Amino acid sequence: MGEFSIQELTSILAMQGFAGISLFSVLLLMALGLAIIFGQMGVINMAHGEFMAMGAYTTYLLSVVTQTYFPEFMNYYFLVAIVASFLVAGLFGYITEFVLIRHLYKRPLDTLLATWGLSLIMQQSFRSIFGAREVSPTLPDWLMGSWMPTDTIFIPINGMFVLGLTIVVTLGVYILMFRSTWGLNVRATTQNRVMSGAVGINTKQVDRLTFALGCGIAGIAGAAFTTIASTGPTSGSLYIVDTFMVVVFGGAASLFGTIASAFTIAQAQSILEFFISGSMAKVFTLLALVIILMMRPEGLFSIKVRK
């Protein structure tokens, strides 16, 4: 590759590095909500992707409403949309837990089936309400384009935005789970439900809020992804496999494991993709995952819990 200058190669290296970090932030944001629900409660939520789609549609709705009624606020609506997506998806998660999930805690495999059914119902509802075509919210101008530290380096602004959001959400989850009384209750419930009940923790309330929190974070992820791709009724199902992959690989009950796992998978995928074709990169990433999981079935990091 003699025809490239050092500067060009450095630029591409920098941009490639960012591509990997960007994929990492996407995977982590997707997986955080699921890590809370699956990791803390042991509920396999197959409708996780649909909660993301719900956040994305909330963002889309707000974009349409803002554009129609308050065009002067177009630059700010997106921040409101993130909060709204969290609230809408979280509220729906809260109701779902009350109506469906709480009856199935003793039958983990049935939650798989029930939440899968829920995902189909949600997909068809999206289709009936928003139509089968994919939609994209109109993004504020400051989210478009790229930041150019030099003439040859382009760092997409939407990628940086997702990265920033992921950091904020991850920190928020960390503080909530490990630095607050409520988090202490959640962890206590995970470790020993009966004992926690006996010392006065309202375990049912803890379950409901944990589930709602997980769904709400999925909603945030959905809102963030509208900056990257469009949203259709079945968009959620595209993300669910990657999401489970990250959570299972990281070790189900560990927040740090989820972060490490998202980082490993994202870097492997994006570096491989640079050298071989996209489909083959995915094949090799998955192969490596399978082998590692065969050797460490509990995932990269796992917390020892007395059962």
Which residues are at the interface with other proteins (CB under 8 A)?
1, 4, 12, 15-16, 18-20, 22-23, 26, 124, 127, 132-136, 144-146, 148, 154, 156-159, 225, 228-230, 232-235, 238, 269-271, 273-274, 277-279, 282
Q: CB-wise, 155 or 176, nearer to other proteins?
A: 155
> Which residues pair with residue 231 across a beta bridge?
135
Angle between helix 235-250 and helix 48-69 axes, rounded to 10 deg: 130
Supply φ then ψ for residue 146, to 5 degrees. -145, 160
Is 132 or 195 the residue whose CB approaches other proteins more closely? Answer: 132
Bridge partners (DSSP) of residue 155 are 147
* Closest CB to other proteins among residues 127, 193: 127
> Least distance (Å) from other proteins to the CB of residue 139?
9
Residue 215 and residue 93 in contact, taking contact as beta carbons nearer than 8 Å: yes
Q: Which is nearer to other proteins, 113 or 280 (CB)?
A: 280
Considering beta carbons, is residue 40 or 261 the nearer one to other proteins? 261
Q: What is the DSSP code string of 261-303?
A: HHHHHHHHHHHHHHHS-HHHHHHHHHHHHHHHHHH-TT-SS--
Q: How far is the CB of 101 from other proteins (least distance, A)?
A: 26
Distance in Å, CB of 169 to other proteins, minimum: 19
Residue found by looking up tokens 């995952």 in the block: 289
Question: Residue holding tokens 């490239």?
Answer: 4
CB of residue 132 vs other proteins: minimum separation in angstroms? 4
For the bound state, the minimum distance from the C-beta of residue 193 to other proteins, rounded and expressed in Å, comes to: 38
* CB nearer to other proteins: pick between 39 and 233: 233
Contacts 24+ apart (CB under 8 A), 290-295: 292/249, 293/248, 293/249
How far, CA to CA in Å, does 231 sit from each of 57, 61, 122? 7, 12, 14
**Nearer Cβ to other proteins, position 110 or 141?**
141
CA 262 vs CA 151, 167, 300: distances in Å: 31, 13, 11
Name the strand (E) or helix (H) holding 204.
helix 203-225
Question: How large is the angle between the packed helices 203-225 and 48-69, nearest 10 degrees?
Answer: 60
Nearer to other proteins, 12 or 292 (CB): 12
The nearest distance, CB 199 to other proteins, in angstroms, is 46
**Percent helix, strand and coil across the chain, each to the nearest 5:** 75, 0, 25
Distance CA 117, CA 119 (A): 5
Cβ atoms within 10 Å of 71's Cβ, excluding its own? 9
Minimum distance from residue 269 beta carbon to other proteins (Å): 8
- What is the smallest separation between the CB atom of 297 and other proteins, expressed in angstroms? 26
